[in-house]
Homo-oligomer: A and B are copies of this chain.
Amino acid sequence: MRPPKPLTVADTVLAPVPLDKAFRLINHGPVVLVSSAHGAARNVMAAAWAMPLDFSPPKVAVVVDARSYTRELIEASGEFAFNIPCRNQIEAVLKAGTATGRDGDKFALTGFAAFAGKRVGAPLIEGCVGWLECKVIPEPHNEKRHDLFIAEVLAAQADDRVFRDGRWTMTDDGLRTLHYLSGGTFFATGDTLTIPSE
């Protein structure tokens, strides 16, 4: 196994995102890293099955498998964060999506470093380009039947180099967001296409 590449936040320009624009961080369907913590335990997993659910207050929905370590930490803490990874991090994202935190610390495995959020205890992941801090709205039926968690977004931030004034700019190839197909294959977010209003 190759050692993970260092992933640092050195060049990130962290900027708050107004809550009414938070949905735009994931509206285009990127893969997200779901981070969670409870007591001294923490974990990170990749999730393609995540989407906005409401504008105001902003809510999100995400599928978290019943057997996963992340599920245990989310149920214990009632919180998680969406971290929106970029192309620079693709190998670590795949590891976060295939390994389990039950076998050892996934931050060590992936090389991800963490920083503190503003509103939740879940760690935020350096080198990502957007972050949504979320508090679970308990819905036992959805959690049990569909492995579906619904949460309110309490705080949002983005890397100002690529998300500014409520819009992704996707100006840097390494900072493009990712979309997951399966079997180790991703798509980068591609060309920006704007249709003029008539």
A30 within 8 A of B: yes
Copies of this protein, total: 2
Give the number of residues in A that approach B within 8 Å (Cβ atoms): 53
Q: In the complex the two chains form, what is the Cα distance from A110 to B191 in whole Å?
A: 23
Query: What per-residue 1/0 map shows which CB atoms of A61-75 lie under 8 Å from chain B?
Result: 101000000000000
A118 within 8 A of B: no
- Residue interface mask A17-58, B partner, CB < 8 A = 1: 000000010011111000000000000000011111110000
Is A182 a contact of B30 with CB atoms below 8 Å? no
Between A1, A141, A166, A194, the greatest number of chain B beta carbons within 10 A of the residue's beta carbon is seen for A194
- Interface contact B179-A179, CB-CB below 8 Å: yes
Hey, which chain B residues are within 8 Å of A52, CB to CB?
A: 48-49, 63
Q: Which residues of B contact A16 (CB under 8 A)?
A: none
Near B by CB (< 8 A), chain A positions 138-175 give 141-142, 146, 148, 150, 166-168, 170
When distances are taken between beta carbons in the complex, the residues of chain B under 8 Å from A195 are: 90-91, 94, 184-186
Contact for A193 among B30, B48, B90, CB less than 8 A: B90
Q: Which residues of B contact A53 (CB under 8 A)?
A: 49, 63, 146, 148
Are B192's CB and A170's CB within 8 A? no
What are 11 A-to-B residue pairs whose CB atoms are below 8 Å? A2-B198, A24-B181, A27-B49, A27-B180, A27-B181, A29-B31, A90-B195, A179-B189, A184-B196, A185-B193, A188-B190
Q: Other than the known A179-B179, A186-B194, A188-B190, what 6 A-B pairs have Cβ atoms closer than 8 Å?
A: A27-B49, A29-B31, A53-B148, A90-B195, A168-B187, A186-B193
